[in-house]
Chains A and B, each alone.
Chain A
């Protein structure tokens, strides 16, 4: 199959993730959408790696996974601490600093 199709799929997944970040209201779901965007990037890396015939892209995919895992650790810690003090993970409720 033509690897370019995987690029279209990656772009589609990335767009779905970005749309999700913008329209969903639960911090956890927003965060899952960011993870979807990172995974879309991984797919693009691997597809490009196949097209160019070098392994750089596949190596980067591993790095992206590690970074995404580190981000989960930090992100969930922050979101859980917010949830425990407000009993809500909605990003709309977090508005103490609005002008």
Chain B
């Protein structure tokens, strides 16, 4: 298009007959977008609750709003799926911005259930003894007060609690619901920021070890913003390459099956540098979010410093959302480029699996250990992503669902083991835990065995599905590396179990707090999902199999 013609786009409009009537009303399918809208609406209500409800009853009001919203949103997802939006009626809603299809609904359901369980751990108020007659949760009395200062003590004495965590959680969940369903690059970027920004704040809100918590938040924020700037530049380059933001249109240009080629598009279409660099930058941003090597440096520090309920939520839900978006990007936008991205992803998957498993061996802090374990798991899931087959999609969906509940359960157990300084996260303090409180240790052992992928746990079913898909997709060497790193990883999981059950408890060791029904529910759901998905995975594998088709 010539320069004058471009200029006319925004200068000649006034002389046209009736420019206003030419704007079509956007068509929004509110029913299909209901899960996200419910959660966003509840988050806004949560902000209003902060403003208008008296401090004493805020906690209960926030709990009520959040639980109702998450349950209602999950019910809507199930209703949409039952109505066939996951299979036959799958389509694109909101003027091309959001896809409503099998993977989107499956992942949204997983995120909502995982968030509901994580919400219970957020709301736990019985682990610490009451301070000045007020119940205490895992979050700072007043985030703005300087740690150790007079104002912090005043806030604690007055019984303040940061009930803002509930709306923050809901905003993050809303972003995560959109992220795997985003069908154009702008929606992808906005969703990325919508779920990241609340997470940065949540990381800074720990009640104990506040300096570490703030440090974790700064690291997460600076690195996260850095990564999203790269993503945005990648989006700019892909937009420049294809002249459009929508996944379908970009995919057509990548395939070379585009119908109408304007001169400008003909110029940029031939420029593979734009496509390759742009695609690589976007994928890099997503790999940062899933915590794949070499973009994993933030993971251990942030997982260790953040309040443990937040860590559990982040480890589970962020991974589900980010892998969903990565799958959609690679399978819908860039399938025409798979001979270019597959070798790169091979490399990333191999170093992620091996790196996560090997570095985890040297860890002495339980939260850091779980962080490296989550890096290794990101590698296993990437093996399924690389398969580029329908089985690859469904196995990744199943793995994500299985993994998220194990993770939340494991971090919920970590919140229970406490000493005078809050949570006792150093591994040496966990010695002999099995003798002192066999039930907690046994539950944690179940989660560790699931992480290790021992048969009859969900971890085994997930790993088997992912590796099977990878082998059939022509990535057999990846499976070999995956099995080797699983064996390495099993070593340190088993080491923790041995430490808990076969070593003498230390006299000054930690105590195990008796939680309220909230955390008990979270842990029980974790164990139940782990066992059910391990013993009878077929129904859920079939469900993931039915959900495994992207709409384009």
Contact = CB atoms under 8 A, between A and B. Distances in A.
Interface stretch (B229-237, B376-384, B515-523): B229-237
Given A7-B240, A50-B6, A44 B233 contact: yes
Contact of B268 (A37, A40, A51): A51
A82 B218 contact: yes
A53 B6 contact: yes
A23 interface: no
A51 B240 contact: yes
Contacts of B301: 97
A51 B201 contact: no
Interface in B181-239: 186, 189-190, 193, 197, 200-201, 204, 210-212, 214-219, 221-222, 225-226, 229-230, 232-233, 235-237, 239
B305 interface: yes
A38 B236 CA distance: 11
Chain A interface mostly: helix
A65 B211 CA distance: 31
Contact of B232 (A38, A70, A85): A38
Interface string A49-83: 01111111101100110010011001101110110
Contacts of A67: 189-190, 193
A97 B212 CA distance: 7
B267 interface: yes
Given A78-B214, A97-B212, A38 B229 contact: yes
Contact of A94 (B197, B218, B232): B218
Interface string B405-435: 0000000000000000000000000000000
B264 A63 contact: no
A25 to B, nearest CB: 12
Contact of A74 (B219, B221, B232, B235): B221
B72 interface: no
Contacts of B16: none
A85 B210 contact: yes
Chain B interface mostly: helix
Q: How large is the interface on B (under 10, 10 to 19, 20 to 34, 35 or more residues)?
A: 35 or more
B240 A60 contact: no
A91 interface: yes
A12 B200 CA distance: 29
B211 A96 contact: yes
Contacts of A45: 236, 239
B225 A71 contact: yes
A31 to B, nearest CB: 7
Contacts of A10: 236
Contacts of B245: 56, 60
Contacts of A71: 193, 197, 225
A85 to B, nearest CB: 5
Nearest to A67: B193
Given A34-B222, A94-B215, A60 B193 contact: no
A21 B226 contact: yes
Contacts of B229: 14, 17-18, 34, 37-38, 41
A70 B244 contact: no
Contacts of B487: none
A82 B215 contact: yes
A74 B197 contact: yes
Contact of A41 (B6, B214, B236): B236
B144 interface: yes
Indicate the member of B9, B225, B237 with the most A CB atoms within 10 Å: B225
A56 B249 CA distance: 13
Given A27-B222, A71-B225, A78 B201 contact: yes
A79 B204 CA distance: 10
A78 B305 contact: no
Contact of B264 (A37, A44, A52, A70): A52
Nearest to A61: B236
Indicate the member of A55, A84, A95 with the most B CB atoms within 10 Å: A84
A37 B225 CA distance: 10
Nearest to B5: A53
Contacts of B216: 97
B262 interface: yes
Nearest to B203: A78
B513 interface: no
B352 interface: no
A21 B230 CA distance: 12
A50 B233 CA distance: 17
B193 A70 contact: yes
B243 interface: yes
B143 interface: yes
B335 interface: no
Given A55-B9, A81-B143, A31 B222 contact: yes
Contacts of A82: 214-215, 217-218
B276 interface: no
B473 interface: no
Contact of A91 (B222, B240, B264): B222
Given A52-B240, A63-B189, A85-B210, 11 more contacts: A14-B233, A44-B233, A44-B236, A48-B236, A53-B264, A56-B245, A63-B186, A67-B189, A75-B200, A79-B218, A97-B305
4 closest residue pairs by CB, A with B: A53-B1, A48-B240, A37-B229, A44-B236
Interface of A: 7, 10, 14, 17-18, 21, 27, 30-31, 34, 37-38, 40-41, 44-45, 47-48, 50-57, 59-60, 63-64, 67, 70-71, 74-75, 77-79, 81-82, 84-86, 91, 94-97, 99
19 contacts: A17-B229, A38-B232, A41-B232, A44-B237, A52-B262, A60-B239, A60-B245, A64-B189, A74-B197, A74-B200, A77-B201, A79-B221, A84-B146, A85-B146, A85-B148, A95-B215, A96-B212, A97-B301, A97-B305
